[in-house]
Structure 1
Amino acid sequence: MVNYMLLICADLENLTNLEPEGGCDNTNFSYFFKVKCGRCGEVSQKETCVTLNEVVPLSQGKGTTNLVQKCKFCGREGTVTMISGRGKPLTQEDSESGKYCPMMLFDCRGYEPVDYIFGGGWKVESIAGTKYEAVDLSGGDFAEYDEKGECPVMISNLRSKFDVVK
């Protein structure tokens, strides 16, 4: 069992508090990433989708998990279980310092998460207090004009990584 923390970073212009709509522990937010088999090293061709509200029984033993998937190359089964309560929004201060912020913790058995894919369902707030919801980051950036603050707002240079957590 290895725990992987999804960490994100981005350049925020006149924005703060980038996070999934409903917060980092939103049960309906979908996390998309590829998985690497712990046995043969094959990386999945398609992205795997994991959400907190989707729970499946373990194929062996008791308990549940958020994902059970077989490697298409070697047939080994692996699981991914999400552990909530560890994420926090990416603030403007974090962005300016280049600091990565934790979003979600994944308990992976037989797989290693790689290549997180940004999608829709994000929210962010301007420094003037304007809230932007249903932000789609699948294109790699977001740009608007904040009427209230009379300034442009932008999310760019999206980056992510998975770090092993003890």
Structure 2
Amino acid sequence: RRLDLQLCSPRHAATMPKIELQIKASLENVSELAPIPGRLWHIKTKCESCGEVSESFNTITTTETVELEGSRGTAHLDIKCKMCERHGHITIEDEALPPVSESGAWAAVAVLDCRGVAPDSFQFMNQWRAKAAGDGGGAFDDVDLTEGEWADYDEASDASVSIMDLESRFESVAAAGKGKHRKRK
């Protein structure tokens, strides 16, 4: 189903859908997996006007904003479609969500406000944090998921730890007030 984000009027902006980036992974002796705040997100985008998908991954971070041409607003990414030359932008609304804690279950790691573009695919890359399971489990501060998996040894709990079978997806959610999101029906 196509989201026509450009056609909504400003008075409907509060009810515009947001897009959650959700991930799923097999966690072995890992109790928490979370993105490092302010990390670089690597996302391919699809133009909502013509359907063109970006050739390369766009890098987005909450630590940098750009002013939107012809507007008083800002975004974390402003992109011009190479095919139809329309502008779209993405703002990262939230990246301080609860950590992924259940192996094999989908969990949101970021919420995006997308106008004129939709996220198409995601690259995990580095800048993740993991916490080993069990009392006194160690913390791993720069987990690199570029290869689609990660493994290490936690000396504090005397156990191997791993993150495998990584998957990602984008899901529409409707805003239910600042910082609260519910799934659209």
Please say whether Structure 1 and Structure 2 have the same fold, judged by a TM-score greater than 0.5.
yes
Residue 110 of structure 1: aligned partner? 116
Distance (Å, rounded) in 2 between the aligned partners of 1:87 and 1:4 = 14
- Deviation, 1:147, is 2.1
- Deviation, 1:89, is 0.4
Q: Establish whether residue 131 from structure 1 lines up as the match of residue 146 from structure 2.
A: no
Residue 58 of structure 2: aligned partner? 48
Counterpart AA for 1:122: W
Moved over 6 A (4+): none
Residue 30 of structure 1: aligned partner? 40
Residue 76 of structure 1: aligned partner? 86
Under a length normalisation based on structure 2, what TM-score does the superposition of the two structures give? 0.81
Distance (Å, rounded) in 1 between the aligned partners of 2:83 and 2:114 = 18
Counterpart AA for 1:160: S
Please say if residues 20 and 111 of structure 2, whose CA atoms lie closer than 8 Å, have aligned partners that are also in contact.
yes
Residue 14 of structure 1: aligned partner? 29
Counterpart AA for 1:4: I
Taking CA–CA contacts closer than 8 Å with sequence separation of 6 or more, which of the two structures ends up with the larger relative contact order? Answer: 1
Q: Establish whether residue 144 from structure 1 lines up as the match of residue 152 from structure 2.
A: yes
Residue 49 of structure 2: aligned partner? 39
- Deviation, 1:19, is 0.5
- Deviation, 1:36, is 0.5
Please say if residues 57 and 63 of structure 1, whose CA atoms lie closer than 8 Å, have aligned partners that are also in contact.
yes
Q: Unpaired segments of 5 or more residues in structure 2?
A: 6-16, 175-185
- Deviation, 1:30, is 0.8
Distance (Å, rounded) in 1 between the aligned partners of 2:120 and 2:61 = 16
Residue 9 of structure 2: aligned partner? none
1:4 to 15, 19, 33: 19
Distance (Å, rounded) in 2 between the aligned partners of 1:10 and 1:136 = 14
CA deviation profile, 1:82-123 (whole Å, cap 9, x unmatched): 1026622000xx21xx32111111111110101110011111
Residue 173 of structure 2: aligned partner? 165
Q: Unpaired segments of 5 or more residues in structure 1?
A: none
The percentage of aligned residue pairs carrying the same residue is 35
Q: Establish whether residue 156 from structure 1 lines up as the match of residue 164 from structure 2.
A: yes
Q: Establish whether residue 89 from structure 1 lines up as the match of residue 99 from structure 2.
A: yes
1:119 to 125, 128, 145: 125
Distance 1:139 1:68, change over 3 A: same
Distance (Å, rounded) in 2 between the aligned partners of 1:131 and 1:87 = 18
Q: CA RMSD in A?
A: 1.3
